Amino acid sequence: MNGRIEKAINRYIEFYKDNSPGQIIPIISPYAFNMDYDNDEFDNRTYDQWDFANEIENFALDRIKRIRHFMKETEKMDNYYLPFIAPEFGTGVNSAFASAMEVTFGKNTSWADHPVKDWEDLNGFAFNKNTIWYELIQKYTETLYKYNEGDYFIQTFSHFSPLDMANGFRGSDLFYDFYDYPLEVKKLLEICTEIIIEFEKGQRKYVADAKGGTVIWGVWVPGKSIFLSEDIADLCSPQIYEEFGMPYSQKVLDANDGAYIHHHAKGYHVHKKIAELDNLKCLQISWDPNAERPIDRIENVIAMNGNIPLMTRCTASDVYNKIDSLKKGRIILNIDVSGIEEAKEVLDFISSNTQT
C-alpha cells in the first residue's frame, strides 16, 4: 500500500485502541463528494446497458479507473477515506448468485424472483455455485485482484444478512411467515447463514491483510471482518429481529471475526438491538429520503450504539452545528461537500476541534 493509505489506516488503528468518546474520523467519499465521471474516459452505461456475461472484465476495469481518478483528484485533502472496490451488481444478485434466479436490471440496481414459493422448495435447497452470477462475481473479484497495484482495497461481496437473504428467497411473504411458519423460516435462515459463510470463504482469498484489519465501505475495521446489510431488520419489531435476525447474524459474525453492519434510518427502533451483537466492529446507519436523518438525533443514536463505533452521513454544515454532540461518541463521518475547498475547511475544523 502507498504512504497515504498507510497513514489513514494508522489513524483507524489508534481510533480502535482508544475507547473514549470525542473521536471523529472524517471521510470524503466518492458517493458524498459527487465526483464527476461524465466524460469519455469512463464508461457511463447504466446497469441495464451492460452485457455482464461478456463484459465483466471491462466493467471491473472501469470501476478501478474511477477509484483511481477520485484518489488523484482528492490527493491534497487530509482525508481518511480508504479506496476500495466490492463486486456488486445491485441487490437482486445478492441472492441470485446462490440460487440461479433470473435477474432484472434497472439503471442503478437489480431485482430477482423469489425461488422459495412453497416450503417444500426448501427440500434440497442449498448453496448453488453453478450459477452465472457466482461465476461473474468470482471473475469480477479476480480482475480487481489482477490489476491491483496497492492503491485500492478489494472488499468481499456486500453480503445480505441471513434475514435479508431469506427475504430475497421468500419475498414479502416472509413477514407473514414469522407468525404462520416460524420453524420453516428458521430452517431457511440456517440455510442462508451457511451460504453467506461459505461464500465469504471463497471471496476472502482475494482480500489482502490491511495491517491486521479489513477495509469495508471506505473505512478500516480490525480483524477479518465481513460486511452485512440488515435492511430487513428495519422493517421488523425488535422482538422479531431478536428471534429471527440476531441468532443467525451472530453466527456469521462468529465465523468471520466480526462485522461492519449497515442499516437504514427507517430502523431507529431496532438500532439498539443490532448494536448488541457480539464482536460488532462498526454500525452504520444511513441517511435516507423520507426519514429523519441520523445526524438530527445524533446523541440518541450514539447512546444506542454504546461503545460500538458509529458511522453515518451528514453535511459540512451539520459538522459545524453539531460538533459538541458529535464529540460524545466514537464516530466515522461520511461528509457531503460541494468541492475541494469545502472539504478542506471541514476536515481542518474537525482536526482542530477533536483528537483526530
DSSP per-residue letters across 224-252? S-EEEE-TGGGGS-HHHHHHHTHHHHHHH
> 29-33, 130-134, 224-228, 258-262 — which is least confidently predicted?
29-33
Give pLDDT tens digits for 274-283: 999 999 999 9
Which cell numbers hold the place of 313? Answer: 452521513
Kindly state the DSSP code that residue 328 receives in the 8-state scheme: T
Higher per-residue pLDDT: 102 or 293? 293
Mean pLDDT of 24-44: 87
**Mutual angle of helices 182-204 and 246-255, in 10-degree steps:** 20
> What architecture is domain 3-353?
Alpha-Beta Barrel (3.20)
pLDDT for the residue 354 = 84
- When pLDDT is averaged across residues 24-46 and rounded to a whole number, the result is 88
Residue 356 has pLDDT above 60, yes or no: no
Neighbours of 239 (CB within 10 A): 11
Classify 349 as helix, strand or coil: helix
Determine the Cα–Cα distance for residues 220 and 147; give it in Å rounded to an integer. Answer: 22
Q: Residue 100 pLDDT > 80, yes or no?
A: yes
Sign of the torsion formed by the C-alpha atoms of 56, 61, 67 and 73:
negative
Question: What's the rounded Cα separation, in Å, for the pair 11 and 7?
Answer: 7
Q: Residue type for 242, please?
A: E
Q: With contact defined as beta carbons under 8 Å apart, do 211 and 153 qualify?
A: no
Mean pLDDT within 108-128:
92
Among residues of the chain, what percentage have pLDDT more than 70? Answer: 99
Q: What is the pLDDT of residue 37?
A: 81
**What is the number of other CB atoms lying within 10 angstroms of the CB of residue 11?**
14
Amino acid at 11: R
The torsion angles phi and psi of 201, rounded to 5 degrees, stand at: -60, -40
CA distance between the termini of the chain: 22
User: Is pLDDT above 80 for 34?
Assistant: no
pLDDT, average across residues 85-104: 91
CB 239 within 8 A of CB 207: no
Looking at residue 317, the DSSP 8-state letter turns out to be: H
Question: Residues 342, 344, 345, CA angle at the centre, nearest 5°?
Answer: 65
* pLDDT reported for residue 32: 80
State the pLDDT at residue 78.
86
The pLDDT of residue 76 is 87
Tell me, what's the pLDDT at 355?
Answer: 59
155-192: pLDDT as tens digits: 998 899 999 999 999 999 999 999 999 999 999 999 99
Average pLDDT, the chain: 94
| pLDDT in the model for residue 101 | 85
Pairwise CA distance, residues 205 & 191, whole Å? 23
Per the CB < 8 A criterion, the answer to whether 92 and 109 are in contact is yes
Cα gap 13→96, rounded to integer Å: 36
Kindly give the residue spans of alpha helices, DSSP state H, lying in 27-181.
30-33, 52-73, 93-96, 132-146, 162-170, 174-180
Cell readout for 200 is: 465469504
Mean pLDDT of 79-107: 92
Q: How far is CA 71 from the centre of its chain?
A: 20
The H or E element that residue 14 is part of is helix 3-17
d(CA 253, CA 280): 8
Give the pLDDT confidence of 306-331 residue by residue, as tens digits.
999 999 999 999 999 999 999 999 99
